[in-house]
Amino acid sequence: MGSLAMLLLVLFFSQGQSSLPDVEKRSTCGQCDERLFCNCSSRNYRRVPTVTVTKVVTLDLSFNDITTVAEDDLREYTWLQTLDLRSNRIKSIHEWAFHLLQGLESLDLSYNQLAALTPAWFSKLLSLQHLNLLGNCYRTLGPGGTLSLFRYVTCKAGSQNAPKSQSSMYVMPCPTSHLLTQLEYLDLSGNLLTDLTLTESLCHGDGTLRNLRVLNVSDNALKSLSLISKLVTRLDKLVHLDISQNGYTSMPPTCSWPQTLTHLNVSGAKLRRVSPCLPLTLEILDLGHNDLTAFHSVALPALRELHLSGNKLMHLPPGWLFPSLEVLLIQSNTLNMFGPVDLQLYRRLRALQAGQNRFVCSCEFVYFMVWRWGGAVEGSVELTDRWDNYLCDSPLPLQGQRVDRVRLSPFQCHRILLVSALCGCTLAAGTLFVILLWKLHAVWYLRMMWAWLKAKRKAGNQRRRDAAGNAEPLCYDAFVSYSEQDAEWVEEFLVPELENSQPPLSLCLHKRDFLPGHWIIDNIINAMERSRRTLFVLSEHFVHSEWCRYGFILSCLTTIREYFSSCLRRRREEAAAAY
C-alpha cells in the first residue's frame, strides 16, 4: 500500500500544478450587508472579487466561474470566518492563498476541479473546524503535515453530476491517515472502497485516526463484517459507524468493537441472520432492508432504537432481549399479527411502526388493534405510522381493507364459543330426554314393541308353514301368567284345580314349561302362541311385577291384532266343542 501512496503522489505532482492562473481583472462585489456578510454568489466571477466594505466575516463566492485562487486574492479578507467557494471550476489554489485567514473556521471547496490537496494551503488555518472537499477529482489527500488540524473532513470521489462509475476511486493512504490525528468525522461514503482499500486507509486497524467519532463508509463495496470490526476496534472514541449499503452477507459468530460504539448502521446489505457479533453497547441499530427472517437469541441491553423495516420477519423479536428499547421500526416485513403479550415484553417501548405487513385479520388481531389504538384507551406505545399502512392480507374477503375499519360479526368472532354453547345445549337436552324416557319406562315399552313386532313376523312365518302342511298344534289350553308372590296360591290351588277338572285342562307354567336358555320374552310369546288362552292372575303383586305386566300388555297387543282374524275360528271351535 505504501507504494500505491507513492504512485498517487507522483500523479499529484505531475498533474496538480499543471494549470497557470488566468490573468483576469478583478471585479467588485457590492452585495454586503451590515452583518459583514457579502453574498457574491452566482455572479459569473472568474476571479475572487474585491468588496466595498472592510472586515468581511462571511464571503459567499459559490456558483461562480472562478478557476484559480492566486496568492494575493484573499489578502484583504483577514477577518473572514466563513469562506464558501463551492461549485466553481477551481483547478489551482496558490500554496499561500489562505495564509492570512487565521480566523477562518469554515471552508467549503466542494464541487470544484481540484485534482489534489496541498497541505500547505491549510498550514496557517489554525481555527478551521469544517472543511468540505466533496465532489473533487483528487487522487489523494497529499502528504502535508497540517491536516492534523482538521476536525471535519468529507471526502468523496467524482464531481457533482458524474455517475459513480465514472468517478475515480478514492484511496486515502495510511500515511495520510497518520496526519489526521484530530479528525473526528470521516465520510468516505459513496466510493468504491473494498475491504482491501479500507484496510489501507485505516492502517490495518492500528488505531490511527484515534480521535475519530463518526466513520461513514456507507455505499461502498465492503464484504466482511469481521474485518471492519477489527479495523475499528482500536478507535476508542468511535461512537457512530455507518456501514450501510455494502455487500455484507453474513455475520461472524463474534466480533470485537470499540467500547464507545453506540450507533451502528448495517442497513441495505444482504444479511440473513443476526449473531452475537453485534456490540452490546449499541443504542441505535439499523438492520433495515436486509434479508433477516428471524431476530432472536441476541440480547442488546442498551438498545433504544431498532430499525428492522424491509426484512422478512414473521414475528416481532422477543421484547425481553431489549429491556431499554423505546423505538421499534418493523414495517414491510411478513408479520401476520402481534398481540398484547408481544408488546408487554417491551417494557420501555414508546413508538412502534409496523405497517405494510401481511396481516391476518383474525378477530383477535382486529380487536386488539382497535382496542389498543382505536382511541378508546391511552396506551404507552404509540403507532407512529398511519392507519392506512395497516391493511389486511387475509382472509381473502378482507384483503386490502384497513385493519381499523374491518367489521366482523359476532358469529365469526365467537364461533368456538357459539359452537360449544350449541353442543352443550344439545347435550343437556339429550340428557334430559334420556332421563325422561327412563322415568317413563320408555326402554321397557320399546323392548316390548320390538318383541311384539318379532312375534308378528314369526306368526306370519308360521302361517306359511301352515300352508305347507306342517301345522303346529296348540299344546296348551292356557298360559298362566302370575307374579312370583302369588306362586303359592297358583301352584297349590289354581293349577291342581284346573288340571284335575273334567275334562282336564293342560296349562303352561313358566316354571315348568319354559325352555331353558331362551330369552324370556321369546318364551312368553311362544307360550302365548301355543296356548288357546292366557290366564292372568291379577293381584296387586302382579301389577308391580315387570314380567307379568309385560306379558299382559303383549297379550293385549296380540289379542287386538288377532281379535278379528281369530274371532271366527274361535267361534267354530266353541261350536264344535258344544256338540
Ligand X SMILES: *[C@@H]1O[C@H](CO)[C@@H](O)[C@H](O)[C@H]1NC(C)=O
Please state the closest distance from residue 31 (CB atom) to ligand X, in A.
Answer: 7
Is the Cβ of residue 306 or residue 369 nearer to ligand X in the bound state? 306
Find out whether 151 and 127 touch, Cβ atoms under 8 Å: no
Is the Cβ of residue 216 or residue 555 nearer to ligand X in the bound state? 216
Find out whether 198 and 232 touch, Cβ atoms under 8 Å: no
Is the Cβ of residue 32 or residue 535 nearer to ligand X in the bound state? 32
Minimal CA–CA distance to 47: which of 20, 68, 18, 77?
Answer: 68
Minimal CA–CA distance to 239: which of 173, 192, 283?
Answer: 283
> Which stretch, 145-153, 221-229, 262-270, 368-376, contacts ligand X (CB under 6 A)?
262-270
Q: How far is the C-alpha of 344 from the C-alpha of 361, rounded, in Å?
A: 21
- Of 19, 41, 182, 384, the one binding ligand X (CB under 6 A) is 41
Please state the closest distance from residue 219 (CB atom) to ligand X, in A.
Answer: 6
Is the Cβ of residue 108 or residue 187 nearer to ligand X in the bound state? 187
> Which stretch, 182-190, 340-348, 413-421, 496-504, contacts ligand X (CB under 6 A)?
182-190
Is the Cβ of residue 50 or residue 426 nearer to ligand X in the bound state? 50
Find out whether 232 and 241 touch, Cβ atoms under 8 Å: yes
Amino acid at 461: N
Considering only residues 268-297, where is the footprint of ligand X by CB under 6 A? 268, 284, 286
The phi, psi pair for 577, rounded to 5°, reads: -65, -30
> Which stretch, 35-43, 104-112, 271-279, 422-430, contacts ligand X (CB under 6 A)?
35-43
Packing angle, helices 520-529 and 442-468, rounded to 10: 50
Please state the closest distance from residue 328 (CB atom) to ligand X, in A.
Answer: 12
Residue 309 binds ligand X (CB under 6 A): no
Residue 265 binds ligand X (CB under 6 A): yes
Strand runs (DSSP E) across 444-567, as ranges?
A: 476-481, 507-509, 531-536
Q: How far is the C-alpha of 490 from the C-alpha of 481, rounded, in Å?
A: 10
Please state the closest distance from residue 41 (CB atom) to ligand X, in A.
Answer: 4
Please state the closest distance from residue 62 (CB atom) to ligand X, in A.
Answer: 8
Is the Cβ of residue 9 or residue 308 nearer to ligand X in the bound state? 308
Q: x/- site string to ligand X, residues 52 to 91, per CB under 6 A?
A: --------x-------------------------------
Residue 42 binds ligand X (CB under 6 A): yes
Q: How far is CA 493 from CA 394, 450, 486, 490, in A?
A: 88, 35, 11, 6
DSSP state of 139: S
> Which stretch, 112-120, 186-194, 369-377, 562-570, contacts ligand X (CB under 6 A)?
186-194
Please state the closest distance from residue 384 (CB atom) to ligand X, in A.
Answer: 14
Residues 6 or more apart whose Cβ sits within 8 Å of residue 83: 59, 61, 74, 77, 101, 104, 106, 107, 108
**Residue 104 exposed, middle or buried by CB count within 10 Å (0-12, 13-18, 19+):** buried
Residue 135 binds ligand X (CB under 6 A): no
- Of 267, 309, 311, 483, the one binding ligand X (CB under 6 A) is 267
Residues 6 or more apart whose Cβ sits within 8 Å of residue 370: 376, 403, 404
Please state the closest distance from residue 238 (CB atom) to ligand X, in A.
Answer: 12
Please state the closest distance from residue 40 (CB atom) to ligand X, in A.
Answer: 8
Q: How far is the C-alpha of 60 from the C-alpha of 39, rounded, in Å?
A: 5
Is the Cβ of residue 171 or residue 327 nearer to ligand X in the bound state? 327
List, as one string, the DSSP characters of 80-138.
Answer: -SEEE--SS---EE-TTTTTT-TT--EEE--SS---S--GGGGTT-TT--EEE-TT---
- Of 307, 356, 368, 513, the one binding ligand X (CB under 6 A) is 307
Find out whether 319 and 349 touch, Cβ atoms under 8 Å: yes
Q: String of b and e for 177-212 (b: at least 16 CB within 10 Å)?
A: bebbebbbbbbbbbbbbbbebbbbbbbebeebbebb
Residue 108 binds ligand X (CB under 6 A): no
Please state the closest distance from residue 289 (CB atom) to ligand X, in A.
Answer: 8
Please state the closest distance from residue 360 (CB atom) to ligand X, in A.
Answer: 30
Size of residue set near ligand X by CB under 6 A? 21
Is the Cβ of residue 162 or residue 474 nearer to ligand X in the bound state? 162
- Of 39, 159, 168, 324, the one binding ligand X (CB under 6 A) is 39
Considering only residues 396-435, where is the footprint of ligand X by CB under 6 A? none
Please state the closest distance from residue 76 (CB atom) to ligand X, in A.
Answer: 20
Considering only residues 193-252, where is the footprint of ligand X by CB under 6 A? 214, 216, 218-219, 240, 242, 244-245
Q: How far is the C-alpha of 220 from the C-alpha of 212, rounded, in Å?
A: 19
Q: How far is the C-alpha of 142 from the C-alpha of 115, rounded, in Å?
A: 10
- Binding residues (CB under 6 A) for ligand X: these are 39, 41-42, 60, 187, 189-190, 214, 216, 218-219, 240, 242, 244-245, 265, 267-268, 284, 286, 307
